[in-house]
Amino acid sequence: MFQPKGAKPDPAFTLDKRAIARKRGRGLHKREWRLLVTLPIALIVLAVIMQMMLGLTKDLRAGPRVEFPTERALVPMARPELAAAAPLADAAAVAEALPIVRELIQDRASIRHSDELDGATLAWAGTLLADDLASPPIAQRVSALDLVLGDLRPGAPVMISGRLEDAASANVGEQTWERLLVSLEDGQFAQVLAPPTARAVPIGAMVQVVGRHLGWSVLPAGSANQHLPLLLGRAVNVAAAGPEATNPYRGIVTMPPDLWQDVDDERVVVETRPYFYLLGQVNTDRTEPERFAAEALDGNANADRIHRQPDQHRGKAYRVSGYVYRAWEDATVASEQPWGISRVVRVLLWNRDSGEVTEKVNGKTVLKTQILRLYELAMITDQPLPQTMERITAVGRFLKFHAVPVELNRERDRANAVERQSDKVYTFMFCSGPAILLPPPPKYSFSGFAIAACVGLLLIVGLIMVLWRRDNRTAGEVMGLIRKLRHTRRAVMKAKTDPPAPVAEPGPPPAT
């Protein structure tokens, strides 16, 4: 019903049937429009929720999102100029430093030297050269990354391969040194002090240098100076194709008692001697796979114990599981082929383990029971490289914590509430056999839930409309009772207040 144009608005409360009908009509009209507007909004909200659920299912299928720091890359060096290098120290300076150097070597102390080739450095190099010629130590294969970022122990036996770029001779009393400039991978260089036999190697040839790591040196490079590793070359030969016949890692694997003596969990370099011996032991274990698997403990569950006392767990068998982050072939093993092993696949894994670790977050010590750990497997296998995000498991033996230098990113650390104490991340490194591919995490489907949610929403909307209609009918019935009651009350009050109506007197009978 519509109110006539120009008529006064209906009062807030009235018993007039037409006014009540008009109010009811307007109220019904507004509620219907509210329902028409609310229902599409509810459907849109439901669609957004379903879209979020679908995205969640994709994340669950792909596994939790993990972002690791990127490994620190080497900055190419400027090419040093060996011809412009400073001269070596004289024989008097070498003779003066020789007694002190011999005493330090007997005490197994580190020889500190400047970046220049001073008397102490030459005395140290000459003493090491004489000792190594009498009793050659087993050298450790190192790369340019190991030399530049590996923080090698001073005096460590090493082996490098590279191209001979330049050479120069220098006499220090009766001792003659060959100063060699060797280019390594990733644009790096190294200076080598070698005996006179190195003159037979032609410049430009690929060479293999066996000797000792002496620290750092400085050579001119254009208008500036270039810091580069300094090595003692006991033997400098043209690099042979394939593994040499003199490779010490041949025959029967017998684990030496001092195998873990030079292992350092803080250095980037992976010590070749214990690494190769442990690979040989794992290769022997593979002949008895059932015994090897029965001997292995759960590496993920025992990671806290390994972390607290790594020396007590070296060489012990563990089973490790995790998600593949990166995989590559070990070029050092392919070149040296220790114990006849020609292929080792290195895999970096991550896994969220249970444990108790305290971390500093915003200056406060926080206890965490879910720990994100990195594991590194050196797998003796002919399998193809595992793919990223595949979940694998393998049985192997613990070697060390491998420190990996990473690029610093303070914005990322601040966003993740990480207070970094070092520019390295550490992996639990194991030597193992082939990996077993584990089934992917369970897939979650919300299609049935989505249908049930839509049906439930429609039922709720229908229930609201039914209840709203019922309330309107109840309100109408109550208003009818109120009107009837008030009408009766008004009639009673009027009968009490109004005078009685006069009674007409009877008239004469009608004429017949």
Q: List alpha helices for 174-288, DSSP H.
A: 272-285
- For residues 212 and 112, state if they share a domain: yes
- Rounded to whole angstroms, what are the CA distances from 495 to 485, 486, 502, 504? 16, 14, 15, 20
28 within a domain of the structure (yes/no): yes
**What pLDDT is attached to residue 62?**
46
Arithmetic mean of pLDDT, 480-494:
79
Number of H helices, E strands in the chain: 10, 13
Residue where a domain terminates, one of 194, 221, 238: 238
Structure-token pair, residue 124? 């140290």
317 within a domain of the structure (yes/no): yes
Tens of pLDDT, residue by residue over 418-442, are 666 677 889 999 999 999 999 876 6
For residue 211, give the nearest of 124, 103, 113, 136 by alpha carbon.
136
Spatial neighbors of 51 by CB under 8 A, at least 6 apart, are none
- For residues 433 and 463, state if they share a domain: no
| pLDDT range class, residue 5, cuts 50, 70, 90 | low
pLDDT at 242 over 70: no
Arithmetic mean of pLDDT, 118-144:
87
pLDDT at 69 over 90: no
Determine the Cα–Cα distance for residues 477 and 496; give it in Å rounded to an integer.
29
pLDDT at 366 over 80: no
Determine the Cα–Cα distance for residues 349 and 352; give it in Å rounded to an integer.
11
pLDDT at 24 over 60: no
Greater confidence, 152 or 502? 152
418 within a domain of the structure (yes/no): yes
Angle subtended by helix axes 17-62 and 447-497, to nearest 10? 160
Asked if residue 373 lies in contact with residue 303, where contact means CB atoms within 8 angstroms, the answer is yes
**What pLDDT is attached to residue 212?**
92
11 within a domain of the structure (yes/no): no
- For residues 284 and 421, state if they share a domain: yes
- For residues 289 and 423, state if they share a domain: yes
Asked if residue 35 lies in contact with residue 341, where contact means CB atoms within 8 angstroms, the answer is no
498 within a domain of the structure (yes/no): no
Asked if residue 315 lies in contact with residue 398, where contact means CB atoms within 8 angstroms, the answer is yes
Task: Tokens 């007997």: give the residue.
Answer: 106
Spatial neighbors of 190 by CB under 8 A, at least 6 apart, are 147, 160, 162, 181, 182, 184, 228, 229, 230, 231
| pLDDT range class, residue 386, cuts 50, 70, 90 | very high
- For residues 226 and 156, state if they share a domain: yes
Greater confidence, 250 or 393? 393
- The share of the chain scoring above pLDDT 70, in percent, equals 77
Greater confidence, 148 or 362? 148
- For residues 148 and 281, state if they share a domain: no
Average per-residue pLDDT in the chain? 81
- For residues 157 and 30, state if they share a domain: no
Q: List alpha helices for 139-235, DSSP H.
A: 144-149
**What pLDDT is attached to residue 122?**
87
| pLDDT range class, residue 500, cuts 50, 70, 90 | low
**Rounded to 5 degrees, what angle do the CA atoms 104, 108, 114 make?**
55
- For residues 92 and 206, state if they share a domain: yes
Domain count, the chain: 3
**What pLDDT is attached to residue 407?**
78
394 within a domain of the structure (yes/no): yes
- For residues 223 and 155, state if they share a domain: yes
491 within a domain of the structure (yes/no): no
Structure-token pair, residue 434? 């082939």
**What pLDDT is attached to residue 63?**
47
Q: Which domain holds residue 464?
A: 17-58+449-482
Tens of pLDDT, residue by residue over 265-287, are 988 889 988 999 999 999 988 88
**What pLDDT is attached to residue 211?**
93
414 within a domain of the structure (yes/no): yes
Tens of pLDDT, residue by residue over 431-473, are 999 999 998 766 655 566 667 777 777 787 777 777 777 777 7
Asked if residue 209 lies in contact with residue 163, where contact means CB atoms within 8 angstroms, the answer is no
Arithmetic mean of pLDDT, 305-321:
94
pLDDT at 417 over 70: no
For residue 194, give the nearest of 207, 176, 216 by alpha carbon.
176
Determine the Cα–Cα distance for residues 344 and 392; give it in Å rounded to an integer.
16
pTM value surpassing 0.85: no
- For residues 324 and 411, state if they share a domain: yes
**What pLDDT is attached to residue 2?**
47
φ and ψ at 226, to 5 degrees?
Answer: -115, 125
248-262, 315-329, 356-370: range with lowest mean pLDDT? 356-370
CATH for 383: 2.40.50.140
Residue where a domain terminates, one of 403, 437, 471: 437
- For residues 454 and 360, state if they share a domain: no
Q: List alpha helices for 150-194, DSSP H.
A: none
**What pLDDT is attached to residue 251?**
67
- For residues 90 and 125, state if they share a domain: yes
